[in-house]
């Protein structure tokens, strides 16, 4: 199959457990949801490094070459498949191609679609009104607050780490305070701050 990718770029992961880790971001085009608070442009294939890739190998090569010295340290290089909703396109052939080029594979998904096997790090970000299909993984990252998607709805799920991420926008300061207070009173949850925005990087 062909893969439609908005952009591919190399930066520091800004959110969640891997905050500060150098990573290649592969942003797939398209999404199956329309979240009012979404802060990402995922339409088309016109971003830096973006395009239509006709094979898993071609996409994996284009992603791997972003990392300094790919292949010299297997699985030190980290590719984050994001979107939009990457589960609309990612498949086992692409995961295998990433692995063949020495990349550890992570995904940031809304959790409403099944995932192929072989992904090394699964981060689910639930959205209000959307039924979760992926109910276990490595990291659950909840944008907070969301009406109809309180943390208590998800804390029983089988994830290793639970993060609250303050909703961006004009109420960011208040949302950050609310998220911090919730984490302090519910210590299973950790605070995730969008450090890439604080640093002014991608």
The whole-angstrom separation of Cα 58 and Cα 63 is: 9
77/94 Cα distance (integer angstroms): 16
Range among 19-33, 63-77, 175-189 with highest mean pLDDT value: 175-189
Span 53-66, mean pLDDT? 97
- For residue 120, name the pLDDT band (cuts at 50, 70, 90): very high
Using alpha carbons only, how large is the chain's radius of gyration in Å?
16
What are phi and psi for residue 22, nearest 5 degrees?
A: -60, 135
Phi then psi for residue 76, to 5 deg, are -75, -35
User: What confidence tens digit (pLDDT) does each residue in 2-34 have?
Assistant: 999 999 999 999 999 999 999 999 999 999 887
Query: Of 7, 18, 28, 31, which residue is the catalytic one?
Result: 31
**What distance lies between CA 12 and its chain's CA centroid?**
13
**31 is known as an active-site residue:** yes
By the 8 A CB rule, do 148 and 129 touch?
yes
pLDDT digits (tens, 9 = 90+) for 45-56: 989 999 999 999
Please determine, for residue 75, whether its predicted confidence score (pLDDT) is greater than 80: no
pLDDT of residue 37: 64
Q: Which fold has domain 3-199?
A: TIM Barrel (3.20.20)
Asked if residue 190 has pLDDT above 70, the reply is yes
What distance in Å separates the CA atoms of residue 43 and residue 5, rounded to the nearest whole number?
9
Find the catalytic residue in 39, 54, 92, 181.
Answer: 39
Look up 108 and say whether it is catalytic. Answer: yes
Pairing of strands 136-144, 103-109: unpaired
Q: Which of 112, 155, 195, 196 is catalytic?
A: 196
Helices assigned H by DSSP within the chain: 56-64, 92-100, 172-185, 195-199
Structure confidence at residue 69 (pLDDT): 67
Query: pLDDT above 70 covers what percent of the chain?
Result: 93
Which of 40, 72, 92, 181 is catalytic? The answer is 40
Residue of 172, 182, 116, 166 whose CA lies nearest to 15: 166
Annotation marks residue 18 as catalytic: no
Strands 103-109 and 3-12, sheet pairing = unpaired
pLDDT for residue 48? 92
Which is catalytic among the residues 11, 19, 38, 58? 38
39 band by pLDDT with thresholds 50, 70 and 90: low
Query: pTM (2 decimals)?
Result: 0.93
Mean pLDDT (the chain, rounded): 92
Whether 39 is catalytic is yes
Residue 20: how many other CB atoms lie within 10 Å: 11
pLDDT at res. 202: 73
Catalytic: 26?
no
40: annotated active-site residue: yes
């Amino acid at each position: 199959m062909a893969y439609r990718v908005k952009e591919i770029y190399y930066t520091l992961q800004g959110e969640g457990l891997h905050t500060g880790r150098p990573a290649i971001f592969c942003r797939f085009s398209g999404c199956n949801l329309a979240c009012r608070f979404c802060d990402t442009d995922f339409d088309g294939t016109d971003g830096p490094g973006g395009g239509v890739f006709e094979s898993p190998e071609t996409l994996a090569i284009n992603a791997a070459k972003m990392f300094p010295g790919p292949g010299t340290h297997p699985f030190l290089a980290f590719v984050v498949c994001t979107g939009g909703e990457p589960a609309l396109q990612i498949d086992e052939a692409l995961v295998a191609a990433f692995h063949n080029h020495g990349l550890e594979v992570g995904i940031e998904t809304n959790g409403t679609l099944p995932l192929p096997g072989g992904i090394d790090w699964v981060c689910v970000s639930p959205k209000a009104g959307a039924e979760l299909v992926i109910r276990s993984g490595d990291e659950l990252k909840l944008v907070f607050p969301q009406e109809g998607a309180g943390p208590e709805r998800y804390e029983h799920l089988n994830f290793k780490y639970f993060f609250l991420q303050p909703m961006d926008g004009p109420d960011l300061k208040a949302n950050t305070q609310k998220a911090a207070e919730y984490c302090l009173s519910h210590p299973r949850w950790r605070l995730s701050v969008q450090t890439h925005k604080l640093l002014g990087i991608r």
